[in-house]
Structure 1
Amino acid sequence: MTDLPGRRPPPAEKPPSFRERLDNLRHLGRLIAQIWRTSAPLTAASIGLRLVAALQPIAMLYVGKLIVDEVVRLTGLTAPGPTFADWWGSGALTTIVLLLGLELALVLGSDLLNRIIGLVDSVLAELHSNTVSVELMAHAARLDLVHFESAEYQDRLERARRQAAGRNALLSQMFGQAQDIITVATLAAGLFVYAPWLILLLPLSFVPAVWGEARFNTLAYMISRWRTPERRELEYIRQVGASAETAKEIKLFGLGDFLITRFKTLAERIFQDNRRIALQRSFWGALFSAISTLTYYGAYGFIVWRTITGDFTIGDLAFLSGSFLRLNGLFQKLLLGFTQIAGQSMYLDDLFSFFEITPNITSPAQPRPFPEPIRHGIVFEDVGFRYPDTDSWALRHLSFTLTAGETLALVGENGAGKTTIVKLLTRLYDPDEGRITIDGIDLKDFAVADIHAHIGVIFQDFIRYSLSARENIGVGRVDEQHDMARIGDAAERSLADAVIAKLPKGYDQPLGRLFNKGRDLSGGEWQKVAIARAYMRDAGLIILDEPTAALDAKAEAEVFARFKSLASGKTAVIISHRFSTVRMADRILVLEHGGILESGSHEELLAQRGRYAELFELQAAGYR
């Protein structure tokens, strides 16, 4: 595995040590801070309510003891009469009625309190899930393109996404732990007053269970981590196997059984791992539970004996047995909760370590203003670039000038470096050698957002957003997406207006088949909508990477005739394999092995009888 820029070395493929698990607990503080940022009032309410609820068990047990003792006392009295009225009139029942009323109030209050806590936690968890998802998307948007092109990054992103959606239960668990700690302290204090040594039995009942839970939490986490690539592949196969975009080819090629078999194979591997851990956890859990039960009944027998000998009252018996039983359960719950939280903190590491990935491509502290308009041009000065984790150069010793107002076409076979030039020009990557300047200013001296705001780019693999036609164009300049005049003008420039005019709801028509009432477009129609995004931006530099690949010859001619007239006064870069398109450019660069092989206009390059002329003749022969 290779390391990513701005991240720590990848973890060893072995279970984390005890020290590493303790180190992961630092993420709990970050989680609490994140919860507080989500909603300080709800967080404070959850904590306050749980503080009150923590005192309820000891109150219930003590009131129960008083009731039992009062009942025993009453049974020893001479009856004031045979009826309830006689007893009530004598005043003998006043205390027991008050105690029963108090117990009823505690029961009703406990139920109401737990419902309110559940409501607060539910709302807080929903808000927190949204907060984490927003922060996750915001951080991903700041990262470099290199991260998105790395399989390891995709694994880390997948794990972070799963934790963003799956850690909400940890909120209630953490706050519940704090509540249980207070309850344990009050119950232990009461138990200590009567029989201090009984507390020593408690560790015997819960330590084995805690050890087992900690071990199986770690194993479950490691299997989840090791199986991340398989889980990503499962999601990919699930999407490919049931997607509108792939349905035609799957049917025609008969790929259904192939994908199902592959899905089953991967799913079976994960299932076997999880089943093995589940079986082991169940076996050892049953054994440790038996130890806990035996310990409790040993203590219970001692309390009964002390009651028989007169050391404890019947009420004391009820209080102590109830306290010990509740303490035993709470101690197990508390320490198992700690081990589970420690286990969850390993998953939190997947989330928060993702936030620790930092981009290498950043804006300078004091950026220079982007030239508007570009007055002189763009210069590549001895530029060299290698993609991460590769030894070969995608570009090497590349030097050329794109004059302001010029339309430059890039031609070459796949892998020649055409799209790499675009990625460097838009600062999705930085060159390893040389530099790129705009009007004499190094590209690194501009704010990254400013560069992107002044360049209109449409790639061949543009996104087909499942949004309305208006929004599909408006994303070209998001801050102007409600300007219908601008959107209509962009659509008219790209010839997408005719496509939209045929839609039932016009610009408000949802596109794509993902959502209800959506209308899909042909490849060429989608491409016109995508080109409209570049016009929507109205940038001084326009880059079109294979912009007409899905258009027929007539539509291509129309689009570029319009583009040529509208690009007047703007600087443009066109990448295309179609020579009918590139011949419209003012100048053409023929690339090969990351360098410039030929340069000139269409006529000049044909006259040279070089590589361009050879490629042109090969393509022209296909139309004869």
Structure 2
Amino acid sequence: MCSLRSLSTWSSLYHLFNTSRGLLPDDCSFPSHSMDGGEKPHPRVQSVYDAWLASRVLGRGELLVPGAHRKFSLLNIKLALFIVHNCAYDFFSHILSLNPVRTSVMMALNIIRSIFPAFRGYSQALIIDELQSLITSGNFTWTRLLHLVATELVRRIFESLLDSFAVANETIVMDSARFHVEYVQMEQRVRLDIPTLSDSAVRDLLHESDLFARSFSGSGFGLLSPLDFIHIISLVTELLSHTLLILSLTGGATHYGVLLLSIFSATLPLLVTCIGCPQPHSETLYTPREARAADRQEKMRNLAYNDAHRPEIELFGLGDWILKTWASARKVVLDSEQSQQLRDSSLLSKLNFSDFLFALQNIPLVLLLQTSSASLGSLTLYRSSIQSVILTSRNLLATSRMVFQGIFFMSAFCAGKTLKPKMQPDEQDAVYYHPSPHGATITARGLSYTYPGCSEPALRDVSFTLRAGETLAIVGYNGSGKSTLAKILLRIMDHDLGDLVVNGFDIRRYNPADYHQHLTAVFQGFSKFNTTVRENVGMGRVEKIRSRSTIDTAIHLAEADNVVDSLPYGLRTLLETPGFEMMSYSGSGCMGSLRHHGLSGGEWQRLSIARAFMRANEPQVDLLLFDEPTSSLDAHAQNQIFDTIDKISRSPTTGARIKSCIFITHRLSTARRADKVALMKNGVSTSPPAFQRPD
């Protein structure tokens, strides 16, 4: 563990770095006041995000692997208290407000149920004592025995019914909490933009936030759901109830000596386990080196088993590298498991203490039998209570460990809600996009962009001007930066240097969601969703996804009528493509019996064009961008599509240009359709006079 000074430096630099890039708001929504009026874990820890990050710092600039368990240390305990004080109350109060009555009932029933073991032992002890009394007095009757058994049976039936009700009620509470947490988690994902999601710190934060969300469904490895904190209260209640029973049976110096001997005999197995295995196995699985190895092992396994990666694996000869990397990581994991097994098979753990401990725990019973107040029922209750105290204490310790780890994952979830998309402008700088009746006007000056981790820029000093209603063709070889420029113009990615002005305002002042409503595009790597034709097209304008006329119009504009007509179920045909999960939307109906149908590259491209045409005719759309939209189509189909694009970009009454258009192509015949041509080469754009179309 690094020193407090090194932690301060690393945490503060990391936080300032991420804040300067717009990952976090300058004023985090969580309060930064100190814990209970005292000092914070460290002066540099101002927010829950800072506390989460500080808990991952190992020293020398290294961070724990996402999902790794935090060590018990004074610093981490302070950080956990800071997190609980700053976000736990708001989180739990919101969760509890989802079902306030049922949640209150759940907590009350858990406390009541925690008393049942002690009450059960006491009830059974009374039966044993009464039977002993009946037998020794000679007044034993089967009627009395059946009465005692029936009483115990009724008690157990009542306890079972209460348990059933408690479980059903808890399921309802947990389901509502799980839905809320998963919804918030999905909301975090969909509102963040690509530059934000590409940041390693954000990916780590969202990974641990995912673990927190999964804990509500019981799939969080080594974790408890936050609502399971009531298990701690239940265990404490159970521990107290057994302790009270023990104390009620203990009196005098002899009895206290017997109590100490009983505790020693019951805790001896725990001491032997601790000597043979100093640390829990769950902790050793999460050491940084082993966690990294386990993560790398799973990544290599996914590469080997995922068919979507098979073409690249074969093309680039990745098989040997995958095997070598997996083997190296797997050996680390197996060495860890072997070390654990060696500890478990140590001499102390292999010694058979069972008979010895059984005899040892009988000594207190023999001593208590010497007193006149001792009975068979009280002796049985005494011994079972001692063992229950030890077992409950172990469960309480294990539960507390998991709750401690869950606090830091909860901090990732809470901090994730404060993440600010990098491309979202500050409120005081933001402006609304006002479409032009004649098309968008774009001015680019010195645009440059370098992908993270790359030394050479993908774009370098790109400049051009597109007046309202004009058409710009961007041509160039593969890898020249055309698609990168398209993503920057579409506000999918942000440029590093230069200025980009759209309709008189810096593009960075537009909210991306608002900006995107006024343009449409076809991407070169368009998505092929494993769902119906209707939804593949309709996602271009989801508010019209159920409008048959709108979808038919888009398909007709994309010259895709024959494609849809040739499919067995028309718009309801399920399309199949590898690499994407099955998607389902409201209104899609039950389609489990329909067979998936494959399409050719050209057919898929026509559907992607239809998707873009879903909103192309809308008056608020003043910019059309097409990245190699006809690369899989023949020359005749290509001309038809570009004729349609030209028709859409003009007024149906006057024929005047009302939309600006940018299309990326490697075909010179297509480029001649444009008013202007930008030639891209090694990330730099030029405007060759030979391709300027005369006015």
**Is 1:180–2:249 an aligned residue pair?**
no
CA distance in 2, matches of 1:492, 1:285: 79
Query: Which of 117, 130, 134 is the aligned partner of 1:57?
Result: 117
**Is 1:135–2:195 an aligned residue pair?**
no
Query: Which of 557, 560, 573 is the aligned partner of 1:496?
Result: 560
CA distance in 1, matches of 2:515, 2:483: 17
- Cα distance per residue 1:42-81 (max 9 Å; x no partner): 543432321221111121111122222222222232549x
The answer on whether the counterparts of 1:206 and 1:292 sit within 8 Å (CA) in structure 2 is no
Partner of 1:474: 538
CA distance in 1, matches of 2:680, 2:316: 40
**Is 1:507–2:585 an aligned residue pair?**
no
- Cα distance per residue 1:215-264 (max 9 Å; x no partner): 43222123335532432332233212xx5x958x98x9898987995797
- Deviation, 1:461, is 0.9
CA distance in 2, matches of 1:562, 1:546: 15
**Is 1:372–2:461 an aligned residue pair?**
no
**Is 1:554–2:636 an aligned residue pair?**
yes
CA distance in 2, matches of 1:67, 1:595: 92
Residues 256, 272 of structure 1: alpha-carbon distance in 2 compared, 3 angstrom cutoff: same
Query: Which of 283, 286, 299 is the aligned partner of 1:221?
Result: 286
The answer on whether the counterparts of 1:503 and 1:509 sit within 8 Å (CA) in structure 2 is yes
CA distance in 1, matches of 2:609, 2:121: 73
The answer on whether the counterparts of 1:21 and 1:342 sit within 8 Å (CA) in structure 2 is no
- Pairing of 1:521-536 with structure 2 (within 5 A): 521-536=599-614
- Cα distance per residue 1:464-503 (max 9 Å; x no partner): 0011111111111112211221111111111122211111
Residues 494, 296 of structure 1: alpha-carbon distance in 2 compared, 3 angstrom cutoff: farther
- Deviation, 1:420, is 2.6
CA distance in 2, matches of 1:144, 1:288: 56
- Pairing of 1:254-333 with structure 2 (within 5 A): 265=327, 268-269=330-331, 272-273=334-335, 275-276=337-338, 279=341, 282-283=344-345, 287=349, 298-333=360-395
The answer on whether the counterparts of 1:213 and 1:340 sit within 8 Å (CA) in structure 2 is no
**Is 1:597–2:657 an aligned residue pair?**
no
CA distance in 2, matches of 1:326, 1:341: 22
Amino acid at match of 1:433: L
CA distance in 1, matches of 2:351, 2:158: 32
The answer on whether the counterparts of 2:212 and 2:406 sit within 8 Å (CA) in structure 1 is no
Partner of 1:620: none
Amino acid at match of 1:574: F
**Is 1:146–2:228 an aligned residue pair?**
no
Three-state SS of the structure 1 residue aligned to 2:154 is helix
Identity score, percent? 23
The answer on whether the counterparts of 1:221 and 1:343 sit within 8 Å (CA) in structure 2 is no
The answer on whether the counterparts of 2:480 and 2:682 sit within 8 Å (CA) in structure 1 is yes
**Is 1:433–2:500 an aligned residue pair?**
no
The answer on whether the counterparts of 2:468 and 2:659 sit within 8 Å (CA) in structure 1 is yes
Three-state SS of the structure 2 residue aligned to 1:411 is strand
The answer on whether the counterparts of 1:587 and 1:601 sit within 8 Å (CA) in structure 2 is no
Three-state SS of the structure 2 residue aligned to 1:18 is coil
Residues 364, 148 of structure 1: alpha-carbon distance in 2 compared, 3 angstrom cutoff: closer
Residues 263, 422 of structure 1: alpha-carbon distance in 2 compared, 3 angstrom cutoff: same
Amino acid at match of 1:112: L
Query: Which of 133, 158, 165 is the aligned partner of 1:109?
Result: 158
CA distance in 2, matches of 1:501, 1:542: 27
- Pairing of 1:13-28 with structure 2 (within 5 A): 16-19=70-73, 21-22=76-77, 23-24=79-80, 26=83
Three-state SS of the structure 1 residue aligned to 2:338 is helix
Residues 482, 576 of structure 1: alpha-carbon distance in 2 compared, 3 angstrom cutoff: same
Q: Provide the TM-score with structure 1 as the length reference.
A: 0.81
**Is 1:565–2:647 an aligned residue pair?**
yes
- Cα distance per residue 1:176-207 (max 9 Å; x no partner): 33222111111112212333563764766657
**Is 1:239–2:317 an aligned residue pair?**
no
CA distance in 2, matches of 1:293, 1:46: 41
Partner of 2:423: 361
- Deviation, 1:354, is 5.5
Residues 263, 157 of structure 1: alpha-carbon distance in 2 compared, 3 angstrom cutoff: farther
Partner of 1:387: 451
Partner of 1:619: none
**Is 1:584–2:645 an aligned residue pair?**
no
- Deviation, 1:110, is 2.8
Three-state SS of the structure 2 residue aligned to 1:577 is coil
- Cα distance per residue 1:346-386 (max 9 Å; x no partner): 66667666556542221442642212235561222343333
The answer on whether the counterparts of 2:676 and 2:692 sit within 8 Å (CA) in structure 1 is no
Residues 507, 395 of structure 1: alpha-carbon distance in 2 compared, 3 angstrom cutoff: same
Between 1:334-343 and 1:39-48, the stretch displaced more is 39-48
Residues 188, 158 of structure 1: alpha-carbon distance in 2 compared, 3 angstrom cutoff: same
Amino acid at match of 1:368: V
Residues 513, 424 of structure 1: alpha-carbon distance in 2 compared, 3 angstrom cutoff: closer
The answer on whether the counterparts of 1:383 and 1:396 sit within 8 Å (CA) in structure 2 is yes
The answer on whether the counterparts of 1:66 and 1:99 sit within 8 Å (CA) in structure 2 is no
- Deviation, 1:168, is 3.0
Amino acid at match of 1:18: F
The answer on whether the counterparts of 1:237 and 1:263 sit within 8 Å (CA) in structure 2 is no
Between 1:279-288 and 1:480-489, the stretch displaced more is 279-288
Three-state SS of the structure 2 residue aligned to 1:221 is coil
Partner of 1:76: 136
The answer on whether the counterparts of 1:163 and 1:348 sit within 8 Å (CA) in structure 2 is yes
Amino acid at match of 1:194: L
Partner of 1:614: none
CA distance in 1, matches of 2:192, 2:138: 84
CA distance in 2, matches of 1:497, 1:280: 69
CA distance in 2, matches of 1:300, 1:32: 47
CA distance in 2, matches of 1:122, 1:289: 43
The answer on whether the counterparts of 1:499 and 1:525 sit within 8 Å (CA) in structure 2 is yes
Partner of 2:247: 192
Residues 434, 259 of structure 1: alpha-carbon distance in 2 compared, 3 angstrom cutoff: closer
Structure 1 vs Structure 2 CA RMSD? 4.0
CA distance in 2, matches of 1:33, 1:449: 31
Partner of 1:452: 516
**Is 1:545–2:614 an aligned residue pair?**
no
Residues 471, 37 of structure 1: alpha-carbon distance in 2 compared, 3 angstrom cutoff: farther
The answer on whether the counterparts of 2:195 and 2:494 sit within 8 Å (CA) in structure 1 is no
- Deviation, 1:507, is 1.0
- Deviation, 1:589, is 0.9
Residues 340, 439 of structure 1: alpha-carbon distance in 2 compared, 3 angstrom cutoff: closer
Amino acid at match of 1:113: L
Three-state SS of the structure 2 residue aligned to 1:544 is strand
- Cα distance per residue 1:82-116 (max 9 Å; x no partner): x75xxx5xxxx4xx666544422332233333334
Query: Which of 382, 401, 404 is the aligned partner of 1:342?
Result: 404
CA distance in 2, matches of 1:185, 1:284: 35
Amino acid at match of 1:177: I
Residues 418, 387 of structure 1: alpha-carbon distance in 2 compared, 3 angstrom cutoff: same
The answer on whether the counterparts of 1:411 and 1:576 sit within 8 Å (CA) in structure 2 is yes
